[in-house]
Structure 1
């Protein structure tokens, strides 16, 4: 406990602080506790976006601005603790993108990595470096850093997906670049499924070698395959903290599909209640099937299909499933692991 400081000393220090402020200096001892905390003290808060509440607002955007005019027609999901920062966590971005029938979101590329999780509608596609993939509900699609990509809707209904990007991380490093495409949409140079066949079928081109920190060449992970694998895994023993949880990988390296963001899928059997767990990677969750509750600290978030919720860094999480639930999630775990920051804790009871 710090000793009491006499008033005249406080006054002398304030005068000193005012003096050094003129030289753009400040005393470390006044801010050390915030800069080097005993444990994480995140500015973000637990948050839940119920798709049944926000969908109408996403659809309304379709009548207000075109995909071409907006370039990307997206409603950003801003964490209540970071309003105005276009951030869902300190390092990640999330948004709901809408593309109407007949529209094209024009081609561009940027240094930020992006993922897509298809939530609603059929008939749209994403094109990455000359290959299109049809977007089906639950599909996990990647546009790696600095790859050309565009989106189009050849169907008869609106399509909505969740965008996840490392925009705040690139902004932190002041390392963001972007470039518009010369063409409105890319010319197709490879048939659909080419990348999955070449790099995601337990085979690789004979002369192919990829560094572990490079993004995957497989840019679509179909939900039909993911769900089938998860159901098979769920026949085994359940993890008391995670249910049945798997991580997506680059098939060529076993590393994360993207160096800055990790993606995960888990199945919670009906009636399952996890033991509390916490980690330093603030995580964005999406319910793809079922319903349940997320107890984040002392806050209860009740989720159903297509709902999005966020768990802050080092916040104890317990998951409860009213029905069999499948949750997709993403976080900055690979980036934290690469620099030695990441930490987790499996708890036997709720953390204090």
Structure 2
């Protein structure tokens, strides 16, 4: 057996001597720190609503919304179990509220979105204004605003929660505070924010009420779907995404939330798309219809999902995504794209 080369022995001793001083050699980890392309530890995953819903209903029997504060089943990426994360920067969960319940008021640094999956008649209150929840609606809880949820519905109401919890955790910047009352006092009639900002107009005086976040906190599905149908009928269909629109902040034209981008897209009947990839990982909620989703990792492994209404799936960073839909499909999605753009690290590639 050959003895180690003198240089190798010298390096090993160097590493042992530097270790007590909390030093480590860059050259041993350089290629992992600066890879040729993104190497996300996350994996593609699918949560079928028909499998998740019974567990949600059991949670409704096991714990009250008030006791839980937020009765949510977290969608954890299979490769990030125990981290309460669907990607390394995004959190997602399905929240349930039952008739007559109230999820008490609190506020936190983390920005949150709600996308309504099942049921009508529950409400979210943000900063003194309530909005009624309906399937397909996109609702925002801006950072550090008091919010509570309640239900006057006859049955269960379920929505997708999307938050920037892992991002805020990375920066060690999280704060939270419980409200003094179970439900906050309503000070504005429902629809006030949309009346002020939702018609390509804005008040002459007054600052943006939520800073960098959109002053509209409820985007109705009926308006989003109407826009998609009009474009499907009258405009060219994109070969990669079908018809895809982004939600925006009407005061800036930018993203509705500083850390989360939100989208709605429609795949026409008979759509067979091309693959594309980007550095922002994305979470999808199927609103209507059915589709086949092909997700290919940078290493070439391909996952194929058949998805239908209320299913949810995640596409990690730099994984190529391709859609097919025979009957047509509507999808909501959110990602961390605003942060990628702000840092100048967004990269996307449309494959032929």
TM over 0.5: yes
What residue in structure 2 maps to residue 218 of structure 1?
Answer: 216
Q: Quick one: distance in 1 between partners of 2:106 and 2:220?
A: 24
Q: Quick one: distance in 2 between partners of 1:327 and 1:8?
A: 61
Secondary structure at the aligned position of 1:313 is classed as coil
TM-score, normalised on structure 2?
A: 0.95
What is the number of equivalent residue pairs in this alignment? 344
Q: Quick one: distance in 2 between partners of 1:133 and 1:209?
A: 22
Structure 2 counterpart of 1:328, from 329, 332, 337: 332
Q: Quick one: distance in 1 between partners of 2:313 and 2:262?
A: 15
Which structure 2 residues correspond to residues 1-352 of structure 1 after superposition, within 5 A? 7-210=5-208, 214-235=212-233, 236-297=235-296, 298-348=302-352
Q: Quick one: distance in 2 between partners of 1:75 and 1:18?
A: 45
Q: Quick one: distance in 2 between partners of 1:212 and 1:164?
A: 18
Q: Quick one: distance in 2 between partners of 1:96 and 1:178?
A: 21
Which contiguous aligned blocks of 4+ residues in structure 1 show a shift greater than 6 angstroms? none
**Structure 2 spans left out of the alignment, 5+ residues:** 297-301
Instruction: Please report the RMSD computed on the Cα atoms of aligned residues, expressed in angstroms.
Output: 1.4
Per-residue CA distance 1:315-352 (angstroms, 9 max, x = gap): 1110111321001000000111011011100110xxxx
Secondary structure at the aligned position of 2:328 is classed as strand
**Once the 2 structures are TM-superposed, how far is the Cα of residue 16 of structure 1 from its aligned partner?**
1.7
**Structure 1 spans left out of the alignment, 5+ residues:** none
Q: Quick one: distance in 1 between partners of 2:153 and 2:227?
A: 29
For the 8 Å contact 2:104–2:149, the answer to whether it is kept is yes
For the 8 Å contact 2:209–2:215, the answer to whether it is kept is no
Q: Quick one: distance in 1 between partners of 2:16 and 2:123?
A: 58
Secondary structure at the aligned position of 1:323 is classed as coil
Q: 1:208 to 1:233 in 2, by over 3 A?
A: farther
**Once the 2 structures are TM-superposed, how far is the Cα of residue 156 of structure 1 from its aligned partner?**
1.3
Q: Quick one: distance in 2 between partners of 1:177 and 1:201?
A: 34
Q: 1:69 to 1:37 in 2, by over 3 A?
A: same
**Once the 2 structures are TM-superposed, how far is the Cα of residue 270 of structure 1 from its aligned partner?**
1.3
